[in-house]
Amino acid sequence: MGTITIQELEVSCCIGVPDEERAKPQRLLVTLEMTVDLVTAVARDDVRWSIDYQVVAQRVAEFSTARSWYLIETLASEIAELVLREFGALSVTVEVKKFVLPQTRCVAVRVVRPM
């Protein structure tokens, strides 16, 4: 087993509880940790037997801009389900960071989903 990590992928989406907050896109950082069986990929030195992190990053960025959400909890959960469904990870941890409280560096939510 192994872990493929995409750390702090910058995405932009309309998210927030108040309508005013969802009115314009916000910068979020998304970190994904995907558990994958790397044995065949390593033996063959071939990305087709692994998870192509470039494709995952592009898909998550597109997904994030496709609609709006009220909660970063929902966005994180839906990204986790997408990664499991579309990329075959054995498990995934998704963390979404949002920059809305001026007295903090960020607010974050982390979800873990087994296959």
Q: What pTM, to 2 d.p., does this model score?
A: 0.94
pLDDT at 111 over 90: yes
CA distance 2 to 50: 10
15: exposed, middle or buried (Cβ count in 10 Å: 0-12, 13-18, 19+): buried
Q: CA angle, 9 as apex, 7 and 13 as ends, to 5°?
A: 145
* Structural domains of the chain, with CATH: 2-114 (3.30.1130.10)
Q: What is the pLDDT of residues 5-63, one digit of tens each?
A: 999 999 999 999 999 999 999 999 999 999 999 999 889 999 999 999 999 999 999 99
CA distance 31 to 64: 13
Q: What is the pLDDT of residues 80-93, one digit of tens each?
A: 999 999 999 999 99
Segment 99-113 shows an average pLDDT of 96
The pLDDT assigned to 9 comes to: 98
The pLDDT assigned to 115 comes to: 72
